[in-house]
Amino acid sequence: ATILLVQAAAAAGVRRVVLFTTGVHQRPMPTELPYVVSKAALQGVTATLAAALAPAGATVNCVNPGPTDTGYADEETRRFVAGRMPLAARWGRPEDTAELVAWLVSDAAGWVTGQTIDSDGGWGVRP
């Protein structure tokens, strides 16, 4: 579905594509296999899509937003994750990710393509 959507977007003239992954490339997630497979596939196809669309001047990047407070976690999980976050001891906010995406789809990021960007408050490098 993602490939078909990107293909249709490119045909319509879209020049900036941002996919979303998770920290599957940072640490194993053995209890979440279906989720891992879907997110790893998006990260894995990013460079290939970027190469395919580059001749048309389009960029394709992938974002790993890390733990983001969208209201899904219970209070115990919220405290646990916040206590392990290296940067600011808090969950990411939706606006943290939105600001990165806004930059990636802007002309200022026109030289960035085929990348996975970990914007996760240090979650991937926690001890």
Residue 113's nearest CA partner among 46, 37, 33 is 46
Q: How far apart, in whole angstroms, are the C-alpha atoms of residue 67 and residue 90?
A: 9
Catalytic residues: 35
Which pair of structure tokens corresponds to residue 21? Answer: 């992954």
